[in-house]
Amino acid sequence: MSPPLPLAFRRSSTHLIVLYLLSIIISLLLFYSCTFNCFHCPPSPSRTLHIVQYFPVGVSPCIALTSIGWIITKLFYSSDPCILSYNFIEMPSAVFSSLAAGICAVIEILYSTDFSQMQWIDKISSSAAISIALCALHAIAAFSLE
C-alpha cells in the first residue's frame, strides 16, 4: 500500500490549483483585452471613456494576484497551522472575484456594444466574454471549496 499523498497533491487541492492557474491566465487575458488589444480600433463616437470603463483594468490584476496567492498557499503552505486556521478566507475571495468579474462583464457589455447598429456577431465583445468566463471559473472554485 502506498503512503498517503500530502495535502497539496490530493485531488480536490489539485483541482483548485488548476482552477487558480486558469484564473490567472484568463484574468491576464482580460487585462490585455481591456488595455492593449484595441490600440488600433476606430475611435468611439464620444472619444471619452467613462470612469467605470477603467474598472476591468484595475480588477483583473487584483484577481490574478489573489489567485497567485492561493496557488502559493496551496503548494507550499498547505500544512501550516496558520493557513489551516485562516483557510476560511478562500471562499469569500473566490466569491468576491466572481462578483468583480461579473461586474466587469456588465461594464464591457454596456460600454462596448453599439445598440443602434448591432449585428448578430456583435452582441458581445471579447472582453465581456472573457469576463463571463472568469466569473464562471471563480463561481466553480467557490462551489468546489469545502
Residue-level pLDDT, tens digit, the chain, 146 residues: 555 545 444 445 788 888 888 999 989 888 888 787 555 455 555 555 677 778 888 899 999 999 898 888 888 877 777 777 766 788 888 888 889 888 888 888 777 666 666 554 444 577 778 888 888 888 888 888 76
- Output phi, psi for 102, to 5 deg: -65, -40
d(CA 51, CA 74): 36
For the CA atoms of 43, 44, 47, 51, the dihedral, rounded to the nearest 10 degrees, stands at -120
Cell of 103: 461586474
Range of the structural domain that residue 138 is part of: 1-35+80-113+121-146
What residue spans of the chain are helical by DSSP H? 11-35, 55-76, 81-85, 90-112, 126-144
For residue 22, being part of any structural domain is answered with yes
Residue type for position 117: Q
Q: What total of structural domains would you count in the chain?
A: 1
